């Protein structure tokens, strides 16, 4: 793992700590009942399922993908919504394709989270969604760097 990748993962983990801190106040103020939060929770669960599927299929990716997977679990926890995803994980024939699929999924998730911020009527939820969007936006370049190796 390159020095940049280690720094990117470290920055993401620090961001996850911020999200965890935000999660307590968000859950107490009630945005977990917001339909936007429910939608985002479903999307986070789908990302979690995708990461888990690729880690199971390509165990050599576990070290690099687990920190990002853990961040998505933190996002879901911060939302305070229990949901299940109906999206089936995408299959990949090799680790490189799996990482490319994840990078695309992260780019799409970041775009969707920005839209979710606008749709949220609760200011605390909007703030949390902005943090989640920033986290997801940082995942795509980290995954793309994995492809460059």
- pLDDT bucket at 15, cuts 50 / 70 / 90: low
> Which CATH number do you get for residue 71?
1.20.1260.10
- How far apart CA 115 and CA 95 sit, in angstroms, is 30
pTM of the model: 0.78
Structural tokens at position 18: 């911020």
Domain holding 66, by residue range, is 3-148
pLDDT at 114 over 50: yes
Q: What is the pLDDT of residue 26?
A: 39
DSSP string of 53-101, one letter each residue? HHHHH-GGGHHHHHHHHHHHHHHHHHHT------PPPPP-SSHHHHHHH
- How far apart CA 82 and CA 2 sit, in angstroms, is 36
Q: What is the pLDDT of residue 31?
A: 61
pLDDT at 115 over 80: yes
Question: Into how many domains does the chain fold?
Answer: 1
pLDDT at 11 over 80: no
Q: What is the mean pLDDT of residues 107-116?
A: 95
Question: What does the pLDDT look like over 51-83, one tens digit per residue?
Answer: 999 999 999 999 999 999 999 999 999 999 888
Q: What is the mean pLDDT of residues 19-41?
A: 64
């Amino acid at each position: 793992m390159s020095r940049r990748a280690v720094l990117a993962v470290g920055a993401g983990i620090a961001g996850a700590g911020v999200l965890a801190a935000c999660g307590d106040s968000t859950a107490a103020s009630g945005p977990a009942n917001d339909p936007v939060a429910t939608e985002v929770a479903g999307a986070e669960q789908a990302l979690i399922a995708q990461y888990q599927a690729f880690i199971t299929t390509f165990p050599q990716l576990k070290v690099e993908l687990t920190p990002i997977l853990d961040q998505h679990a933190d996002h879901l926890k911060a939302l305070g919504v229990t949901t299940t995803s109906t999206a089936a994980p995408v299959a990949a024939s090799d680790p490189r394709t799996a990482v490319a699929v994840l990078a695309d999924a992260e780019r799409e998730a970041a775009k969707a989270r920005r839209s979710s911020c606008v749709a949220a009527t609760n200011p605390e939820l909007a703030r949390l969604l902005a943090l989640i969007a920033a986290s997801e936006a940082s995942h795509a370049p980290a995954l793309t760097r994995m492809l460059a190796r």
